Amino acid sequence: MNKSILITGCSTGIGYYVAKHLSQRGYQVFATARKAEDVARLNNEGLNSFQLDLDNSESIQLATDWVLEQTHGKLFALFNNGAYGQPGAIEDLSREVLREQLETNLLGWHELTCKLLPVMRRQGEGRIIQNSSVLGLITMKFRGAYNTSKFALEGYSDTLRQELDGTGIYVSLIEPGPVRSEFRANAYAKFQANINIENSPFRRTYEGVVSRLSNADPQKEDPFTLGPEAVLKRVIHALESKRPQPRYYVTTPTYLLGWLKRFVSTRVLDRILIRASGSENS
């Protein structure tokens, strides 16, 4: 196949799985990660890897230069995947914490995308694949920062797709529900680092969350959780179809909640989602 693709967030989970399997499929994969030790591990495993910190403009420029040097100024696809979730009630999020969520999950993606779009325009073809979330379609309590970043990504990607109409560059959103990865563990670490439990009106709720997560069975997971191969399937379609879909739903919860958003009122949907996220009271 010999088509090239840059993937962000390849240290674990979806990015790692997609990078490995696209490489096996014949793509020229450039697998980036934020930490130097992850880059070293990926290179040792046979992937072509480079350090990329989406919060750092210099890092984004260096990674872009590296990829284009490797490909002689060409790139077929970009899979924006590197992201994290910051849990916590909206009123417990400082401006800085919310800014950090947006820097990584949206603004870093924007900067990287804008550096690569001129390359795709010169080629007359390209694919931009955005790994969004079911939480870019619906909201849930205590996921406000992540919801905000993914709702913004949805609007951003829809606008970009319209603006690129007729260029041969296609923009697709992938919208997973629960997928097996390190996402929850990383989110819990962000919760511990940035949320002041003691001074929150949601203290009792948070204490319950901490107790539940600290005693959770790592082998037990949501029955609707799928492996990263479910995302890979959609990425392949977005890369290889002549007319990629604007949106790809992944997992049963995404299909169900996407349907509910279309056909029930906001008030009814609120009640469903509040019930689904538990009876958390201040």
Catalytic residue list: 146
Query: Measuring CA to CA, which residue among 246, 121, 98 is closest to residue 171?
Result: 246
**Distance between alpha carbon 43 and the CA centroid of its chain, in Å?**
23
DSSP string, 79-138: EE-------B-GGG--HHHHHHHHIIIIIHHHHHHHHHHHHHHHHT-EEEEEE--GGGTS
Task: State the Cα–Cα distance between residues 91 and 112, nearest whole angstrom.
Answer: 31
CA angle at 164 for the pair 159 and 167, rounded to the nearest 5°: 170
Task: State the Cα–Cα distance between residues 125 and 143, nearest whole angstrom.
Answer: 36
Task: State the Cα–Cα distance between residues 229 and 151, nearest whole angstrom.
Answer: 24
